[in-house]
Structure 1
Amino acid sequence: MASHRSPTHRAAGKRPVLLASSLALALAAVGVVGVEVSQAAPVGTSAGSAKFAAATCADRTFRAMTVSQRVGQLFMGSVTPSAPDSKRIQLMRQYHVGSVFLAGRSKAGTQATKTLVDGLQANADSAAGRRVGLLVSTDQEGGRVQVLSGPGFSTIPSALTQGSWTTDKLRGEAAVWAKELKSAGVNLNLAPVADVVPASLGTANAPIGRYDREFGHTAATVAPHSDAFLAGSAQSGVLATLKHFPGLGSVVGNTDTTANVVDTVTTSKSSSVTTFKSGVEAGAPVVMISSATYSRIDPKNRAAFSSTVIQTLLRKEVGFKGVVVSDDLGNAVAVKTVSPGDRAVKFLSAGGDLVLTVEPNLIPAMTTAVQTRMTRSESFRWQVEQSVHRVLNAKQKAGLLSCG
């Protein structure tokens, strides 16, 4: 899972090497022809078409896509690199899923990972004869949260250790780690963690502090180190992700394994929120939203389903214009009481762009719910169009989309 799953959960399906037979099966599966759920929408039939009248690369690609392809760009499903599941890969191909999360731990190294990713990329969707590459992500934070290891990958120390370094050193090391990801075909890292865990809470903070995932215990330490990690990633051409807005440092429960996790401390003006503002000003291309509830910001909604958190705080007050990705909306206990379709619709309605689910089998229900809502709500369809454009722009930045 992309944010704060415990090492026990992350290790599910762990094997020492990438099995050749599983890889061959998986790569064969992604060649299955996708099933169209709906036809291409006529150009100029919605407010979104007029808004994006400028002929950007993202707009030209968007206009060439079917509705199913557009909706597929809003989803990220998981693949386990140590044991790729051909049926799940086929399902994601069928529903035009535009992003992949490498989940579970693999010691196979960069070359084997690149072979898997290349196979996935070879079967990515096309629009108007142009390949729309996949965003391929993983959790490569360091310490106890490092999904990919083996030949070609460094052993990355914990963020708490990284936070003791100078920012120059961290930027340089982050550039090396990102270069390794790039060589393995990974173009999006779901890191760095910008959460501030107070020293008084420490390891009692289940999602972050327990695993030394924070750079430090004050915003003054976390912000510059998080920014340095971002800069190093950008230097090597890998998109990075600030997480988990507006911060998981002041909670006790882990939203992966605990329901009703509530932060009663954080406000829109808290110093812990300034770490995200600093990262946004430093050019962070992606921000991940927490699934906790923040009683002093929006007591009625989980952050992932809150327009107050995403639209008002993150977009307007912090000024973020990039891609907003969810924390896991598949297996996380925090969202289990919400139907899969509603999880996707609520997140996108609140202003999110990219739905992450570590359980790809939920994607059919999720995409169906999104398309149904699009037919019933002009404003929702407009939000979806904006989100697809943000994802396509991120892909262009990552070198996955070319209109030359």
Structure 2
Amino acid sequence: MTDYNTTANSKLDHLKHKIGQMLFVGFHSAVVNEDSDIVKYIQKYNLGGVIYFDYYAYLKSYDRNIKNPDQLKHLTKKLQEFAPTPLFIGADVEGGNVNRLKAKYGFNLQVPTYLEMGSRDDLQQTYLEALKISIILKSIGINTNFAPVMDLDIDSPIITKFERAFSDDPEKVYKHCAEVIRAHSENDVISVSKHFPGHGSTKGDTHEGFVDATDTWQEKELVPFQTGIDEKTLDCVIVAHLFNKHLDPENPATLSHKIITELLREKMGFKGVVVSDDIDMYALKHNYSLEEIVVKFINAGGDIILMGNNHDNDLSQIENVINIIVEKIEEGVIPAQRINESYQRIMQMKEKYIFSPEINA
């Protein structure tokens, strides 16, 4: 006789196993063991990845994950040992003004800003600077870099101010970004290109609140992404929390089926992994409930939910997100097929860069 409760529990566990791969989370510790909260969540929910920070925004303190190269290498090694499925382990290491691996922690990683490299316009030099980054990342076990920035240098307080874009010329931006991606790929480091559909013209910062790009966004901001898709350079893209009524009159890009599925996937042809920008940013957090964010992002066609935990130190949100997804699948609000699609894309990217398992539906 079939034990239907056991069968149901088995199916639920398998579903949660897949959902866990869709979460990329931040945590507050520089050392872990089997009793660490993050380890327990990784093991219980088969989490897909973790992101390292050196700065804790809520307390305005440099006391997070990164102390020195040996410590970070050991932390990475221990996390992978505890993980049921090899983890994405990521950080923002663009170079220039956005670099978690700072000299004060003992990292020898002095890299020019993207704008400096774009002004120099020496593609070989850009490649070599990116190669320097990817070699260090690989040496400490970081397999995912939230770079390059594919935004245009138009006029943005979060992009232009910190010289994070190569140029206002979309073709030049793509050529330099392609060198960054090539250098990372050669060391088996995933490049997460950002911030679709373009953050370079915005007048606000989505870390701080709602940003409307309707009157400033230009269609040429799509060009670096489109070229990367056409040339099969892009494996992974971050979608920004930008609102643009010309692209979607109701939802910001992260929560938009029109932008993620209809524009990025169907019209532009992107077949890779879509990551949300950090859902802790106030552009979402102050305007949508956690349930709305999770449901809308997944139904929009997104694959990985980035949860930086920069405003608190409460990992219970991981469980909340997983429970929301399970509940909404059971209610028919989220199609189970959406989870399967995302899981397949995630595992294909892990197979390419991290491991070689059989991919089971």
Distance 1:39 1:157, change over 3 A: farther
Q: Please list the CA deviations of residues 96-145 of structure 1 after superposition, one character each: whole Å capped at 9, or x if unmatched.
A: 321111123566343321100111111112xxxxxx20001110001121
Q: In the alignment, does 2:138 pair up with 1:182?
A: yes
Distance 1:181 1:229, change over 3 A: same
* Equivalent of residue 90 in structure 2, options 137, 159, 163: 137
Cα distance in structure 1, aligned partners of 2:18 and 2:194: 25
Distance 1:370 1:333, change over 3 A: same
Q: In the alignment, does 2:76 pair up with 1:76?
A: no
Cα distance in structure 2, aligned partners of 1:246 and 1:322: 15
Secondary structure in 2 aligned to 1:391?
Answer: helix
Q: How does 1:4-403 map to 2 (within 5 A)?
A: 39-41=9-11, 66-80=14-28, 82=30, 86-105=36-55, 108-125=67-84, 132-149=85-102, 150-163=105-118, 164-198=120-154, 201=155, 205-266=156-217, 270-280=219-229, 281-359=231-309, 360-377=315-332, 380-403=335-358
Secondary structure in 2 aligned to 1:108?
Answer: coil
Secondary structure in 1 aligned to 2:9?
Answer: coil
In the alignment, residue 119 of structure 1 is paired with which amino acid?
K
Q: Any conservation in 2 of the 1:264–1:295 contact (CA below 8 Å)?
A: no
Q: Any conservation in 1 of the 2:276–2:306 contact (CA below 8 Å)?
A: yes
Q: Any conservation in 2 of the 1:159–1:215 contact (CA below 8 Å)?
A: yes
Q: Any conservation in 2 of the 1:241–1:285 contact (CA below 8 Å)?
A: yes
In the alignment, residue 195 of structure 1 is paired with which amino acid?
D
Distance 1:402 1:109, change over 3 A: farther
In the alignment, residue 177 of structure 1 is paired with which amino acid?
I
1:379 Cα deviation (Å)?
A: 6.2
Q: Any conservation in 2 of the 1:260–1:334 contact (CA below 8 Å)?
A: no
Cα distance in structure 2, aligned partners of 1:107 and 1:77: 15
1:401 Cα deviation (Å)?
A: 4.2
1:318 Cα deviation (Å)?
A: 1.7
Cα distance in structure 2, aligned partners of 1:108 and 1:209: 29
Match of 1:34 in 2: none
Cα distance in structure 1, aligned partners of 2:32 and 2:82: 15
Q: How many residues align?
A: 333
Secondary structure in 2 aligned to 1:120?
Answer: helix
Cα distance in structure 1, aligned partners of 2:261 and 2:247: 12
Q: Please list the CA deviations of residues 343-389 of structure 1 after superposition, one character each: whole Å capped at 9, or x if unmatched.
A: 11110110000000112432221111111111122862111110011
Secondary structure in 1 aligned to 2:183?
Answer: helix
In the alignment, residue 221 of structure 1 is paired with which amino acid?
K
Match of 2:59 in 1: none
Q: Any conservation in 1 of the 2:188–2:353 contact (CA below 8 Å)?
A: yes
In the alignment, residue 89 of structure 2 is paired with which amino acid?
V
Q: Please list the CA deviations of residues 14-34 of structure 1 after superposition, one character each: whole Å capped at 9, or x if unmatched.
A: xxxxxxxxxxxxxxxxxxxxx
Structure 1 runs (4+) deviating above 4 angstroms are: 80-85
Match of 1:128 in 2: none
Cα distance in structure 1, aligned partners of 2:214 and 2:112: 28
In the alignment, residue 148 of structure 1 is paired with which amino acid?
L
Cα distance in structure 1, aligned partners of 2:332 and 2:356: 29
Return the TM-score normalized by structure 1: 0.77
1:154 Cα deviation (Å)?
A: 1.4
1:89 Cα deviation (Å)?
A: 4.4
Greater displacement, 226-235 / 159-168: 159-168
Secondary structure in 1 aligned to 2:11?
Answer: coil
Q: Please list the CA deviations of residues 299-353 of structure 1 after superposition, one character each: whole Å capped at 9, or x if unmatched.
A: 2111001011111111112211111000011243433221112211110110000
Aligned-pair identity (%) = 26
Structure 1: which 5+ runs fail to align? 1-37, 43-64, 126-131
In the alignment, residue 90 of structure 1 is paired with which amino acid?
K
Q: Any conservation in 2 of the 1:208–1:248 contact (CA below 8 Å)?
A: yes
Q: Please list the CA deviations of residues 233-263 of structure 1 after superposition, one character each: whole Å capped at 9, or x if unmatched.
A: 1111101011000001111110011224333
Cα distance in structure 2, aligned partners of 1:336 and 1:240: 29
1:194 Cα deviation (Å)?
A: 0.3
Cα distance in structure 1, aligned partners of 2:31 and 2:115: 31
Return the TM-score normalized by structure 2: 0.85
Cα distance in structure 1, aligned partners of 2:190 and 2:252: 26
Match of 1:45 in 2: none
Distance 1:263 1:251, change over 3 A: farther
Secondary structure in 2 aligned to 1:377?
Answer: coil
Q: Please list the CA deviations of residues 152-207 of structure 1 after superposition, one character each: whole Å capped at 9, or x if unmatched.
A: 54122211112224112211221221111011110010100000122xx3xxx122
Match of 2:58 in 1: none
